[in-house]
Structure 1
C-alpha cells in the first residue's frame, strides 16, 4: 500500500480511516440491507495457481475472544467489475474499496453531493499500476466522477503525483451496480461495477483501550465465516487504542482478504502491520492457500520472484527495497501478507520493513506471467 494510503492517514487521525466514501448516498436506508447480493466469480486465477492439494493456512482461523461492542455502523462498500471488456476488447478487471467517513466528520448541514470524496482502486492492466487513489465528487441524480491519482518518489527521492484515468458514471436505482465511461488521454472505455460486500465498523472497549474493527459482510455464509476468522476482537494488554481493518481484495471462488492492525501504547506514534487470508473454493468448501500453493516453491522460482518484488518496490520508492526479498520459509508462512489481485500476486510491507517509519507502508505487485517457467507448478 502506498505511503499516503496508510501511513499519512493513520498519522493524521486513526478515526479518519484509510478511505472516505465515494457514494455517501449508499449509507442511509440501503445500509440496513447489507450483504444481500451474491458475490460474482472473480477474475480467473492465474493458470499457475492450481487448487491446493495440501492446504496451508494463510491466516489465523480460530475465533478469538470477543469484546462488548458498544456501537456498530455501516462503513462503506466493496465493488468488482471490468473496464473495456467486450466482443472485440479484452479490457481489464477493476476493484474498488470505498468507506464512509466517521460520524464526527459528517456535517449534517452540508450537501453530501457537493463534498469532495476520496477512495482507492486497483486493477490488473498489464502495463498499469496495481493501486490508485481516487479523488472525485458525487453529482446529482446518483452520478459520480472519480479521478485516479498515485503518489510516488522520483529518482531523486522527491514526491511526485501521477495522474491516471477518470471514471464518470451513475449508480443504479438500487445502488447495487454502477456503469459509465473510463477515459484517459483521449481514450475511453465503458465500465461496469457490482457491489459485492458492505463494510461494518464496530467500536467498543477492550480493557483500557478503545477498539475499532472494520470488516466486510457479503451475505455468503461461507465467505463471511472466513472474514470472521480474521477478526481480532481485542487490543493487547498495554494498548490505549487499536484499530483492525479487514479489507476485501477479491471475493468469489477465490477469496483474498488483507488485515491491518494498528495499535498505540504510548510514545511518538503507533505502529501497524499486515497479515492476510487467501482461500479457494473447492468440492469440500474453501481451502486456505499460501504462496507455495500458487507458485512452484523452488529456489529458481524464489529467485525470479524476488527479482520482480525488489524491482516493484523500487518503482514505488521504497528506500530499502532489497530488504523486501522473500525467504523460502515465507512461501509457506501461515500469516505471510500476500493477496491475489487478478493475475497478480501482491506482497504487503508495513513500516520499517523496506524503509524508515516516515516512508510508511508499501506493496509490491508481480504478474504471474512475468515470473517465467520456473514458477509454474507441475500439472500432475
Structure 2
C-alpha cells in the first residue's frame, strides 16, 4: 500500500473525515480556567527535545528528518485540550474508554461570535465501546457555569449503501473548578451512563513564516518531560521551498504507559488544492524508558495474521463508506514501518488513510478500526 503524502482536499475541506470521528464541542470554560497557565506553559515548554531526554525519545518517523524551521515573529495561542476517561464504569460494569481532543475555535470565529455560550468547538474522539463505533463526530455548545453538552454524530452507510448521518448519544456534564476534570451523564435512547474525564494535555498552536510559507503548527503539551519529548520528536518539517502555506498538526490519541500520536501535514504550493498525508508515532514505556513500537510489536507478523488483518481492514473501510476499500490492504513492510499511520485505542488498531488512498479526492480521509480480539489465533503474539 502506498503510504506517502497524496493529493488531497482544498484547505477549507481538508479536515473532512468521511469515515470517522471527531468529538466536537464546547468548553470555552477550559480557556477561562487555563488561559493564564497556557501562556506560562508556552514560555517554559522546549521547542525541541530536551538534552536530558532519553535516547528512546528519538524521532520515529523515517523521513523527513529536517528540524522544523523556526517561524519568524510567531503568534502563539492555547488551542484546545486532550481528555481521557471512561463511560459507565462501576463496580459491576467495566464501561468503555474514551479519548477526546477538543479544539478551540479560531480567533476570527470567536470575533464573529461574542457570546461565550454560543462558542462551538471541534475535535477528534475515539472510544472502545463493545459492539459500537470507534469514532464519532460530536457537535455541541458551551453552557453557563462550566457546563457543556456534546452530541454524537457519524457519517455512515444505510443498508442500501447510501450515505447517511448516524445520531449517537449525548454527553452532558460540567468541569471541575480547576478545569482538570469533567463529569456528567451519557444518554442514548433512554439509556444513561455516568462518565468521568481527566485532562491529559493542552494543545498549543504557533503560526509564523519560514521563507515564503506561512506555517501553522499545533501539538499537545502534557507536562510529562518524557512524553513531551516524544511529541517533540514528531515536530519535523514536511514543507519545502515551493510551499506558500503549510499546516502541521500532531494529535494525541492515547497518553500513558502507551503513547499514540497522529501527525498530519497539509501543504499548498499552487494549483487547485493542497496535499496532505499522515504519519504516526507509537511507544510503550519500559525499564529503559519509552521505546517505539510498530504493528509487528502489536500483532504476530506472519502472513496468516496479515491476511486476517487485511480482511478486517477492508471490512471496516467498507462500513465507513470507502469507495475503493480493497486498496487499503497493508503490505508486509508496513508492519515494521515505525512511521506507518496507525494508532492504538484500547484493544483496537486504527489505520489512517488520506484522500485518494481508498477513494476519490472528493471522499476525503478514512480510518479503519480493527479489534485485536477479532483477528483470531493467527495474530496472537507468542508468549515467552
Residues 151 and 160, structure 1, Cα contact 8 Å, conserved in 2:
yes
Residues 84 and 198, structure 2, Cα contact 8 Å, conserved in 1:
yes
TM-score by length of 2: 0.87
User: Could you say which residue in structure 1 is the equivalent of 2:67?
Assistant: 64
The alpha-carbon deviation at position 24 of structure 1 amounts to 1.2
Residues 10 and 274, structure 2, Cα contact 8 Å, conserved in 1:
no
CA distances 1:266-289 after superposition (whole Å, capped 9, x unpaired): 111112100000000001000000
Please state whether the residue corresponding to 1:225 is helix, strand or coil. helix
Please state whether the residue corresponding to 2:35 is helix, strand or coil. helix
Unaligned runs of 5+ in 2: 1-7, 16-21, 42-55
Residues 186 and 195, structure 2, Cα contact 8 Å, conserved in 1:
yes
- Higher deviation after alignment, 65-74 or 194-203: 65-74
Q: What is the correspondence of 1:1-380 to structure 2 with a 5 Å cutoff?
A: 10-12=11-13, 22-28=26-32, 30-34=34-38, 58-60=60-62, 64-69=67-72, 70-107=74-111, 110-154=114-158, 158-233=162-237, 235-380=239-384
Provide the C-alpha distance between the structure 1 equivalents of 2:293 and 2:57, rounded to a whole number of angstroms: 6
| Gap change, CA 1:149 and 1:137, over 3 Å in 2 | same
Residues 57 and 233, structure 2, Cα contact 8 Å, conserved in 1:
no
CA distances 1:175-194 after superposition (whole Å, capped 9, x unpaired): 11000000111111000000
The alpha-carbon deviation at position 170 of structure 1 amounts to 0.6
Provide the C-alpha distance between the structure 2 equivalents of 1:321 and 1:360, rounded to a whole number of angstroms: 13
| Gap change, CA 1:175 and 1:63, over 3 Å in 2 | farther
CA distances 1:89-109 after superposition (whole Å, capped 9, x unpaired): 010001111001111111276
CA distances 1:55-83 after superposition (whole Å, capped 9, x unpaired): 99752495714323511110000000000
Please state whether the residue corresponding to 1:106 is helix, strand or coil. helix
The alpha-carbon deviation at position 232 of structure 1 amounts to 2.4
Provide the C-alpha distance between the structure 2 equivalents of 1:20 and 1:208, rounded to a whole number of angstroms: 33
Report the RMSD for the aligned CA atoms in angstroms: 2.4
Provide the C-alpha distance between the structure 1 equivalents of 2:127 and 2:68, rounded to a whole number of angstroms: 36
The alpha-carbon deviation at position 206 of structure 1 amounts to 1.6
